[in-house]
Structure 1
Amino acid sequence: MAGAFKGFGQKAIPFLKALDFHQSREWFQENRDLYQSELHEPFCDLVETLTERFEAAKLGLRGDRKRSMFRINRDVRFSKDKRPYNRHLSAILSPDGTKMEQGVFYVHIGLERCFAGVAWWQPTPELLQAMRKAIATKPAAFRGMVSSLKKAGLELDAEDRLKRAPRGFEDVGDEDLAQAVRSRHFVVRHDIDPATIHSPALVDDLVDFTLGAKPLLDWGRAIQGTAVAA
């Protein structure tokens, strides 16, 4: 397979550490070739290798080396933090290959941590409302999804939930459902051992994780269809 992922270079994380220390455009330009060979090009290969594997697994997620990657440059226009570079590199694979879709796979290689996620992140108000309604009115389907995730060793992220029930859902009594309708996002995460990013076996690890997270994708897609139809 042309462009198959062979692993990130051994200097990928050291490069990020050095870039974080210097935070200098001059330093980055002087070391751009190292960035390309150790980090950026392998990441592009990872995206395209995952796209082929996800297609074979019928996961409905794809990307490419142009549209999927987030820039390492930070947008500092509206930030007090004027450091020009991120401490990580990341990418999204989605149903249409863009970053604008919902029900996506995200992968993040950085200094603090390396991880992947499958997410319905910041869904539109209409979709979020439909998801909350589905939780309240079709609890068996929601609980079945949660149970399937648990069998795969995954659980929905509880961070960033509303402190109170959203309007219209105050009467949801069961604790698991009451917690769920307060969610702003529906996300499962998978920590990547930084020692494994230098091996092509990382692909298998990420495919296994995404297959385990498929119940979340399927649940959201079924609701998304009704939200669009409505």
Structure 2
Amino acid sequence: MAGTFSGFGQKAIPFLKALDFHQNREWFQENRDLFESELREPLGNLVETLSERFGAVGLGLRGDRKKSLFRINRDVRFSKDKRPYTTHVSAILSPDGTKMEQGVFFFHLGLDACFAAVAWWQPETAMLQAMRRAIETRPEQFRKLVAVLKKGKLELGTQGAMKRMPRGFEHVADADLAAAIRNRHFVVRQDVEPTSIHTPELADILLDFVIRARPLLDWGRAIQGTAVLPPQN
């Protein structure tokens, strides 16, 4: 492992605030060393520390500083917002270590929020259909998942949920099942206390979160094994 996580730098958030104010390439290039030392290098260390620790407890999630970190540069080609930089850093750990897989861990540190998530985010149509069908046909199993997550102080998010029932599921009458079937994503999230980002204990906090969120990973993986998915490129 290239580096053990010891915390983000004390100037991490001030750097993002300054970047939000300046938003130009000249300023960023002049302060790139600060970005690397306070944010990007610690994020790479966090990813590799978590990859090792997730592997040690069999979570099936991995990553590295080359593949897992998202760029701070914004893609402005098709956006009215032409600001060149985001005001956050983020990374993903997945079953194969790339950003293309489902059933992942995501970490976000920014001016807007600091949080971690375990997610099946925008799954392929076949996978989403299989997840919805599993809720419909095996409600006891799904309710057990919800109860276990609740015991771990987690609950499924509803971001982006459909207002109407998807076709083929209109007959589902139970309110809890209907609400779950309308989901486009299956996600649990935990906010991270800003002061903790500067300490090595952040890795412990995130490991604990993913262990509590593991039932969602296991539920989705069991369904994934039965869903007919298109081949990966």
TM range (shorter): over 0.9
User: After the TM superposition, which parts of structure 1 deviate over 6 Å for at least 4 consecutive aligned residues?
Assistant: none
1:174 maps to which residue? Answer: 174
1:192-229 CA-to-partner distances (Å, cap 9, x unmatched) read 01111000000000000000000000000000000048
Q: Give unpaired runs (5+ residues) of structure 1.
A: none
2:128 maps to which residue? Answer: 128
1:196 is paired with a residue of what secondary structure?
helix
CA distance in 2, matches of 1:86, 1:2: 26
Count of aligned residue pairs for this structure pair: 230
1:196 maps to which residue? Answer: 196
Q: Where does 1:145-164 land on structure 2 (aligned, <5 Å)?
A: 145-164=145-164
**Could you tell me the percent identity over the aligned residues?**
70
Would you say the 8 A contact 2:69–2:91 is kept in 1?
yes
CA distance in 2, matches of 1:33, 1:229: 43
TM-score by length of 1: 0.98
Would you say the 8 A contact 2:127–2:229 is kept in 1?
no
CA distance in 2, matches of 1:186, 1:2: 33
Q: Give unpaired runs (5+ residues) of structure 2.
A: none
Cα RMSD over matched residues? Answer: 1.1
1:40 maps to which residue? Answer: 40
CA distance in 2, matches of 1:228, 1:101: 15
1:88 maps to which residue? Answer: 88
2:72 maps to which residue? Answer: 72
CA shift in 2, pair 1:229/1:86, >3 Å: closer
Residue 114 (structure 1) aligned with residue 114 (structure 2):
yes
1:140-176 CA-to-partner distances (Å, cap 9, x unmatched) read 1111111110000000001211011000000001110
C-alpha deviation, 1:2, in angstroms = 4.9
CA distance in 1, matches of 2:115, 2:50: 15
1:19-76 CA-to-partner distances (Å, cap 9, x unmatched) read 0100010000000000000000000000000000000110000000000000000000
